[in-house]
Amino acid sequence: MCGIVGYVGGQQAVPLLLEGLSRLEHRGYDSAGVAVLTTSGIKVAKKAGRVRDLSEDLPKRFAGKTGIGHTRWATHGPANDVNAHPHTDTKGDVAVVHNGIIDNAAALRQQLTEAGVDLVSDTDTEVLAHLVARSDADTLEGKVRDALAVIDGTYGIAVMHADFPDRLVVARNGSPLIIGVGEKEMHVASDLAALVRYTTTVAHLDDGEIATLTATGFTTYRMDLSTTAKAATTLDIDPSVYDAGDHASFMYKEMLEQPAAAERVLRGRLDERFGTAHLGGLNMDPRETRAIRRVKILGCGSAYYVGQMGAALVEELARIPADAEAASEFRYRDPVIEPDTLYVAVSQSGETIDTLLAVQEIRRKGGRVVGLVNVVGSAIARECDGGIYLHAGPEVAVASTKALTTMFLGFALLALQLGRVRDLSIADGTRLIAGLTRIPGQIAEILEREEEIAAVATRLAEAESLFFVGRVRGFPVAREGAQKFKEISYRHAEAYQTSELKHGPLALISESVPTVAIVPDDELASRNVGALHEIAARRGPLVVVTHEGVDLGEVDAVRIDVPRNERELDPILLTIPLQLLAYHAALHLGHDIDKPRNLAKSVTVE
Ligand code: F6R
């Protein structure tokens, strides 16, 4: 959420900053801005809207070789030109970009106002610029340290100062910052995506660290300005994985990448000989694994819904009571943390603050947490006692697709391993391994039916309001389907248990309110079909995501048949057409697929 870039070196900073910002725009796209150090001091250009609006509107002679930039997702104050970052002090000697939230901003604003400072924006960030400017320290590092000493909250910041033109000072507490080491130049960004085109030699800042960047190198410090010995490492990364290539959007590209992502998350983790999974990263021996009495899964949004699918897998395969809970609610109900519960945090970004805080709450109370995380080295991954990396590759689109698929498969592996140290037979383990191995190909089969699904989506897009319904294994599938649909089509899409329809929501069914029903070929199929009749009797249009051979009776419905797998693994295959439905509905409505309104990737604020 929000993106930071910075540059110091021998090249003109602005083109590099703008290119970096465009790579981070999925993290916030309300407004954008850059500041550069020119021969006549700091100049700032910032604007509500997209990075392209900013670049079209840049003043002439906006040149300098040290600069910072920001793309914003508004928290304090509306998205307008004034609230856009960078923020400066009154004289314009200091410029700051900031990700995160300053919790005591209101008190600090009041203190500054009482001291005669004229605050011009509604933001929490502006106080930082004034605090840096008002520090008596001799160095920029000292001024930044003084400012941060009175701040409560989370931040990733980059600061420049007209009196210290050779450097940027950056600091991190809860909001990622990565230093990129170039040839006689240094970069900084809140995400690798903005760096990889320039350098793959990077150093991740830790929480509580400050760093100075000059053209010739970087130094890292603790908050007391004692140095920390931090070396950069060169990543083996292909920068093109951060490009959409010829695809119209990242979401589309990421949906198509699902078969390959599914193969990656499974690779090297299936043990056919013993019909189990190998998850060395969990850091648990069989004795500890057997001692688990309960599994509690925590995630937000789509990660929470796939967590519900994961809980069902754990209960079915390992026969351990399991449930999923929204991480954003968890710590506020003062949860009881049990020593024999395995807590599982699930997150694509590894940065979602609600999930991170839930992990910290559990660990503070002595619980054991493992992570299912995509981004290697992210805050949640680092905070957990062990985990499973998802290997989905970078996910840029706000609407999560391939990460979600790998999360499901990660849960299947976990459930298999937990099951096989208990009562799951080797025959069942082998059956599930065979099922898992079929999944990448079956996802590809569904994606090939895009045209047929797009035609259904175009019709659904016309409805103002829709239901997504499913039962038991199908219910989290319906929740995820509704989530994806509402996120990018902006249609009201509500998920319900099919069994609950007659207890209330059936009142809303009419010929203008379609229902997308999840009806797998399982023990509930005939009951599900009964509910379809009830919807059809109220003239509700029906789209049924099902398996070939499921008899829908006389119901007038558009059916989308997906390939069968093992029943436990079917939910992920039933989810794939729902991604295509959401995508094509949004495309038909002319929406910006990768940047849905009001949202941003990686929610790093509570
Ligand atoms: C939905 C979506 C969000 C995320 C949620 C958690 O398509 O992308 O609901 O799933 O914000 O994000 P992570 O997985 O990064 O913790």
Residue 602: is its pLDDT beyond 90? no
- Atom 9 (ligand 1) nearest CA: 301
CA atoms within 13 A on the CB side of 444: 11
Residue type, 172: R
Q: Which residues make Cβ contacts (< 8 Å) with residue 502, sequence separation at least 6? A: 531, 534
Closest CA to 400 of 470, 305, 336: 305
Cα–Cα distance measured from residue 399 to residue 582, given in angstroms and rounded to the nearest whole number: 10
Three-state DSSP class for residue 554: coil
- Is residue 474 scored above 90 in pLDDT? yes
Q: Rounded to whole angstroms, what are the CA distances from 13 to 5, 16, 64, 210?
A: 10, 5, 6, 22
Average pLDDT for the chain: 95
395 band by pLDDT with thresholds 50, 70 and 90: very high
Q: How far is the CA of 158 from the centre of ligand 1 (A)?
A: 26
Q: What is the pLDDT of residue 28?
A: 80
pLDDT digits (tens, 9 = 90+) for 21-75: 999 988 888 899 999 999 889 999 999 999 999 999 898 888 999 999 999 988 8
The residue length of the chain stands at 606
Give Cβ neighbours of residue 599 (< 8 Å, ≥ 6 apart).
398, 487
> Which one of 26, 349, 402, 606 would you pick to mutate in the ligand 1 pocket, going by the greatest count of ligand atoms within 8 A of its CB?
349
Q: What is the pLDDT of residue 39?
A: 86
The architecture (CATH level 2) of 244-446 comes to 3-Layer(aba) Sandwich (3.40)
Q: Report the share of the chain in percent with pLDDT over 70.
A: 100
**CB neighbourhood size of 116 (10 A):** 7
pLDDT of residue 92: 97
The class level of CATH for 449-592 reads alpha beta
pLDDT tens per residue, range 157-170: 999 999 999 999 99
Residues with CB under 6 A from ligand 1: 300-303, 347-349, 352, 355, 398-400, 483-484, 487, 602-603
Closest ligand 1 atom to 603 CA: 11
Look at residue 605 and tell me whether its pLDDT is greater than 80. no
Give CA–CA dist 278/388, Å, rounded. Answer: 10
d(CA 23, CA 42): 24
Ligand 1: residue of 175, 330, 352 to mutate (most ligand atoms within 8 A of CB) is 352
Starting at the edge strand found earlier in the chain, the sheet holding 558-562 runs 492-497, 465-470, 515-519, 542-547, 558-562
Please state, for a pLDDT cut of 90, what percent of the chain lies above it: 91
Cα of 165 from ligand 1 centre, angstroms: 39
What residues are annotated to the active site? 2, 601
Tens digits of per-residue pLDDT, 229-248?
A: 899 999 988 888 899 999 99
Token pair, residue 406, equals: 């790998």
The backbone torsions φ and ψ at residue 106, rounded to the nearest 5 degrees and listed phi first, read -60, -45
Could you give phi then psi for residue 506, rounded to 5 degrees?
A: -55, -25
- The sheet with strand 186-189 has its strands ordered as 41-48, 31-38, 66-72, 3-8, 186-189, 178-181, 201-204, 233-234
The C-alpha atoms of residue 490 and residue 459 are separated, in whole angstroms, by: 15
The tokens of 441 are what?
A: 């190909």
Closest CA to 34 of 75, 61, 68: 68
Q: Ligand 1 center to residue 573 CA distance, Å? A: 19
**150: CA distance to ligand 1 center in Å?**
32
Which among 178, 236, 148 has a CA at the least distance from the CA of 24? 178
Q: Cβ contacts of residue 80 below 8 Å, gap of 6+?
A: 31, 48
Q: Give residue-wise pLDDT tens across range 533-545.
A: 999 999 999 999 9
Which residue's CA is the nearest one to ligand 1's atom 3?
A: 301
- Give me the pLDDT at residue 74, please: 83
What are the b/e assignments for 329-347, b being 16+ CB within 10 Å? ebbeeebebeeebbbbbbb
Structure tokens at 381: 């991954």
Q: Atom 5 (ligand 1): residue with closest C-alpha? A: 301
Measured between alpha carbons, how far is residue 281 from residues 53, 213, 387, 388 in Å?
45, 34, 5, 6
Question: Which of 175, 191, 300, 488 is the best mutation target for the ligand 1 pocket, counting ligand atoms within 8 Å of the beta carbon and taking the most?
Answer: 300
Residue 91 burial class via C-beta count within 10 angstroms: exposed 0-12, middle 13-18, buried 19 and up: exposed
SS3 290: helix
Look up the CATH architecture of domain 3-241. Answer: 4-Layer Sandwich (3.60)
- Main-chain dihedrals φ then ψ at residue 264, nearest 5 degrees: -65, -40
Q: Where in the chain is the domain with CATH 3.40.50.10490?
A: 244-446, 449-592
Split at pLDDT 50, 70, 90, the class of 318 is very high
Compute the distance from residue 22 Cα to the ligand 1 centre, in Å: 21
Q: Quick one: which atom of ligand 1 is closest to the CA of 380?
A: 16
List residues bridging with 296 in a β-sheet. Answer: 323, 343
Token pair in block for residue 321: 């009571």
What's the gap in Å between 469 CA and the centre of ligand 1?
Answer: 21
* Whole-angstrom distance, CA of residue 389 vs CA of residue 410: 8
> What pLDDT, on a 0 to 100 scale, did the predictor assign at position 173?
92
Stretch 173-183: mean pLDDT, rounded?
94
Token pair 């090939």 is found at 448
Kind plus residue range of the DSSP H or E element containing 323: strand 322-326
Mean pLDDT on 343-352:
96
List, for residues 453-466, the tens digit of each pLDDT value.
999 999 999 999 99
CA of 398 from ligand 1 middle (Å) equals 8
E strands, 20-162, in order: 31-38, 41-48, 66-72, 87-88, 94-99, 155-161
Q: What is the dihedral of CA 115, 118, 124, 127, to 10 degrees?
A: -50
pLDDT in tens, 491-528: 999 999 999 999 999 999 999 999 999 999 999 999 99
The model's confidence at residue 603, banded by pLDDT at 50, 70 and 90, is confident
Atom 10, ligand 1: which residue's CA is nearest? Answer: 302
Nearest to 373 by CA among 282, 464, 483: 282
- pLDDT value, residue 214: 98
SS3 state of residue 584: helix
Nearest by Cα to 86 from 6, 150, 196, 188: 6
Task: Please give the distance, rounded to the nearest whole angstrom, from the Cα atom of residue 400 to the centre of ligand 1.
Answer: 6
Nearest to 314 by CA among 426, 430, 411: 411
Which residue CA neighbors atom 16 of ligand 1 most closely?
Answer: 347
Instruction: Write the pLDDT tens digit of every residue in 63-94.
Output: 999 999 999 988 888 889 999 999 999 999 99
Residue ranges matching CATH 3.60.20.10 in the chain: 3-241
pLDDT > 80? residue 476: yes
Q: 187-191, 345-349, 366-370, 601-605: which range is least confident on average?
A: 601-605
| C-alpha–C-alpha distance, residues 146 and 47, integer Å | 29
Strands 168-173 and 178-181: unpaired
**Integer Cα distance of 13 and 213 in angstroms:** 14
Cβ neighbours for 503, distance < 8 A, ≥ 6 positions apart: none
Which atom in ligand 1 lies closest to the alpha carbon of residue 349?
A: 15
- Max distance between CA atoms of the chain, in angstroms, equals 81
